[in-house]
Structure 1
Amino acid sequence: MLYRTRAATGDTRTFLSAIVRHPHQLGAIAPSSKAVARLAASVVPDTPGAVVVELGAGGGVISDAIRDRLPPGGRQIAVELNDDMVRHLRRSRPWLEVVPGDAGDLGDLLTRAGVTRADAVVSSLPWTLFDDPQQEHVLGEIAASLVPGGRFSTVTTLAVMPIPRFRRFRTLLDRTFATVGTLGPVWHNIPPALVYTGTRAAAAGRPEKAGRDLPEPRR
Structure 2
Amino acid sequence: MSSWADTGLFLREFVRDPLHTAAVAPSSPALAAAMTAPLLASGPHPVIVELGPGTGSFTRAIQQRIGGRGRHVAVELHPGWAQLLQERHPDVDVVRGDVRELAAILADRGVTRVDAVVSGLPWVAYTPAPGGRPLHAVITDVLAPTGVFTQFAYTWSRWAPPARRQLGDLRAHFGDVVISPTVWRNMPPAVVYEARRPR
The TM-score, its normalising length taken from structure 2, stands at: 0.89
- How many Å separate the matches in 2 of 1:11 and 1:92? 13
1:91 is aligned to: 87
Given that residues 25 and 187 in structure 2 are in contact (C-alpha distance below 8 angstroms), is that contact kept between their aligned partners in structure 1? yes
Change (3 A) 1:113 1:20: farther
C-alpha offsets along residues 134-174 of structure 1, whole Å, 9 cap, x if unaligned? 89621001111101111000011012112211111111111
Give the counterpart letter for 1:137 in structure 2. Answer: P
Gaps of 5+ in 2: none
Q: 1:17 aligns with which of 12, 15, 21?
A: 12
Cα 1:147–1:71 shift into 2, 3 Å: farther
Q: Distance in 2 between matches of 1:176 and 1:148?
A: 12
Q: Distance in 1 between matches of 2:63 and 2:192?
A: 18
Q: What residue in structure 2 maps to residue 209 of structure 1?
A: none
Compared with structure 1, are the counterparts of its residues 169 and 194 closer, same or farther at alpha carbon in structure 2 (3 Å cutoff)? same
How many residues get paired?
197
Tell me if 1:28 matches 2:26. Answer: no
Q: Give the match for residue 122 of structure 1.
A: 118
- The CA deviation at 1:68 is 0.8
Asked if 2 retains the 8 angstrom alpha-carbon contact of 1:146 and 1:200, the reply is no
Q: Distance in 1 between matches of 2:106 and 2:61?
A: 21
Aligned in 2, Cα 1:129/1:51: closer, same or farther, shift over 3 Å? closer
Equivalent-residue separation in structure 2 for 1:27 and 1:148 (angstroms):
28
Corresponding residue to 2:140 among 139, 143, 166: 143
Q: Name the Cα RMSD after superposition.
A: 2.1
Matched ranges for 1:49-64 at <5 A: 49-64=45-60
Higher-Rg structure is 1
Q: Is the 8 A contact 2:19 2:122 kept in 1?
A: no
Contact conserved, 1:132 with 1:165, CA < 8 A, in 2?
no
Residue from 176, 185, 189 that aligns with 1:192: 189
Correspondence for 1:3:
none
Which residue is equivalent to 2:158?
161
> 2:45 is matched by which residue type in structure 1?
G
Give unpaired runs (5+ residues) of structure 1: 1-5, 202-214
TM-score (ref. length: structure 1)? 0.82
Report the identity percentage: 36
1: CA distance between counterparts of 2:84 and 2:14? Answer: 14
